[in-house]
Amino acid sequence: MIDANSDDLSFETPAQVEAYCRFFLSVRPSDSLAEFPSQEEFDEYQNKRERALHAQLDELSRIDFTKANRQKVEGTYFKITKKSHVNPLSSEGSNKASTRFNFKDIPLLRNRAIYLGKSKLGCEYELFHLEDQRRILKNKFLPDPNANQDDFIFPDHVVYEYEVSLDNVLILTTKPSCDAIFIQTRVILNEWYEHNYQFDIPTAGQVLATLARIQGFKGILYTSTRIQTETNLVVFEENSGELSFKQISKTPYNQPSEWLLK
C-alpha cells in the first residue's frame, strides 16, 4: 500500500515499480471510454499507458544521491515572463501547469519550481521553442514575398536579469554528473509533455525532481533541451524559501523575428 503523504519514494525492485505505477494510475485514472471508437482501442491505450509509466519509473531503479555533484550556483541568470506577471520569481504557476520538473496533477509530484536560464537566448529557446517557431515562420513567410514578418508577434514579455546565489544545487549538466546518481541523460532531456499529454503520466524527470527535493536540494542545474550549449536552473521553493535574488535589469522583450527568418 502506497502512503500518498509519505516522501519515502523508491523504485529499486520490480514490486516497488509496480506498486507506484498502480498508485499513480489510480490517482490519474483514464476511464473515458467514450473517447475511443471501441473497447479494444481503449484497452490498448490503457496497456500502452501502463507500459510507458513502467518505463519511466524503471529509469530511476538505481538512483542514488550519495555521490551527487552538489554545488553552490552563483552568477547572472535570466527569466522571461509575461508582462502581466506581478512577481516573476513566483512559483504560483506550478499549481496551474506541469513543467519539466513538476507534475501538477499528483500532489506528491507537484514541485514549486521556478526556472531561470544562464542566458537570454537560452530562455528564449525554452519559453518560445524558437526552433519550432523558426520552422513555422519560414514555412509561412518565405513562400510569400508580400508577407510581413511582423505579423507574427509574441505576447508582451519582459526580460529580467538576476544575480543568483544558491547553495546545495544538484548539478546534472554532463553525462558524468548524471552517471554519479545512476541515471541516463535522457531522464533530463526527454520531451516531458509528450508523456504528460498523450498518456497523462509523470516522466522520470518529474519524479527525479521530487526525489531531489526530498533529499534537500534547493535546485537542479541542467542542460537545456532546446539548445544544448546552454544551461538552466530550476529552483525548488519548498527548500529555498521565497526567492530574493537581486534584480540587475528589467527590459521589454523584443521578438527575434529577423533571426528566426534567416
- Tens of pLDDT, residue by residue over 33-64, are 677 888 899 999 999 999 999 999 999 999 99
**What's residue 138's pLDDT?**
59
**What's residue 226's pLDDT?**
84
- Tens of pLDDT, residue by residue over 228-259, are 899 999 999 999 998 989 999 999 987 665 55
Burial class (CB in 10 A: 0-12, 13-18, 19+), 225: middle
β-pairing, 219-223 vs 157-172, is: parallel
**What's residue 167's pLDDT?**
97
**What's residue 145's pLDDT?**
53
- Tens of pLDDT, residue by residue over 124-148, are 888 876 665 566 555 655 555 555 5
Domain ranges of the chain: 65-143+152-260
> Which grid cell is 35?
473517447
Quick check: helix, strand or coil at residue 123? helix
What CA–CA distance (Å, rounded) separates 98 from 258? 31
Average pLDDT over residues 171-177: 97
The reply to whether the predicted model has a pTM over 0.75 is: yes
Determine contact, residues 172/188, Cβ cutoff 8 Å. Answer: yes
Determine contact, residues 103/27, Cβ cutoff 8 Å. Answer: no
